[in-house]
Each structure stands twice: as C-alpha cells, then as structure tokens.
C-alpha cells in the first residue's frame, strides 16, 4: 500500500514538473521561424504579394524576430529582473527599423493595414483563453 502511494506521488510530481517545463504560462516561446510563418500567412491572405516581395518581407521579419530575441536575452543576461523600460525601448527601436524596411516592400495602404489590423492581431492575448477568469 505504501509503495503504491509513493509511486503515485512520484508520478504526480514528475507530471507537474514536466508540465511546468513545457513553457511559461499560456505563451510557449515560438522560434523566429515559427513567428515568420504566422506573419507570412497573414500577409499572404491580406495582400497576395508576389514571390519576390513575400521573400523580402519574410527576410525582414526573420531578422526582426532574431534581433528581438537576441536583445531580450542580452537584457535578461545582465542579471536580475530586466528593466521594463529598457526592454520596451529596445523593442521599439527594432520595430522602427523593421517598419522602415517594410515600407520599401509594402504600399502605403498595405502598411496602414499592417499597422492597424494585422500587427495587433499577432500579439499574444492576455488572460486565459478558453477558460474562465
């Protein structure tokens, strides 16, 4: 009887540890390539860009997501809790650089659609999707 309870307790603890290792909260970390794929699909359905422009956009986003991940790692590696303002400023600088490059690929109307509709839809939603509270 004690052996069964012990085995059950160990299995339960391992299950909890495994679930916690899967990612933080509801937002598992996506690779830059996974993020680019999601943006690619949105841009393709919204704008039907030709292959050359789509490749340019994919390259811009891949660079952006890789640079963003690298910068956030640098800020975290500095020790302690990263400064929220520094993180936001670094991210905004990368966004501005990305958008400058995108303006060479997208029309003015497409850029407006990107900023007003598509980009906001790409952000993780806060809260508990699919559950209460």
The pLDDT tens digits for 74-113 are: 888 877 777 788 889 989 999 999 999 999 999 999 999 9
Pick from 18-22, 58-62, 116-120: least confident: 18-22
pLDDT of residue 125: 66
| pLDDT at res. 24 | 47
Strand, helix or coil at 35?
helix
In this structure, how many other beta carbons lie within 10 angstroms of the beta carbon of residue 63?
16
Q: How would you label 39-55 residue by residue, b for 16+ Cβ within 10 Å and e otherwise?
A: bbebbeeebebeeebbe
Residue 118: partners with Cβ closer than 8 Å, 6 or more residues away: 39, 42, 43, 46
Tens-place pLDDT, residues 3-45: 555 444 444 444 444 444 444 455 578 899 999 999 999 999 9
């Amino acid at each position: 009887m004690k052996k069964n309870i012990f085995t059950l307790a160990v299995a339960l603890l391992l299950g909890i540890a495994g679930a916690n290792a899967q990612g933080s909260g509801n937002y598992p970390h996506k690779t830059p390539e996974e993020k680019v794929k999601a943006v690619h699909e949105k841009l393709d359905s919204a704008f039907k860009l030709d292959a050359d422009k789509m490749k340019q956009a994919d390259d811009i986003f891949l660079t952006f997501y890789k640079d963003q991940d690298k910068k956030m790692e640098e800020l975290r590696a500095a020790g302690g809790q990263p400064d929220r303002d520094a993180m936001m400023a670094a991210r905004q600088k990368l966004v501005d650089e990305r958008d400058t490059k995108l303006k060479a690929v997208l029309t003015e109307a497409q850029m407006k659609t990107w900023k007003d509709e598509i980009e906001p839809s790409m952000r993780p939603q806060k809260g508990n999707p699919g559950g209460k509270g």
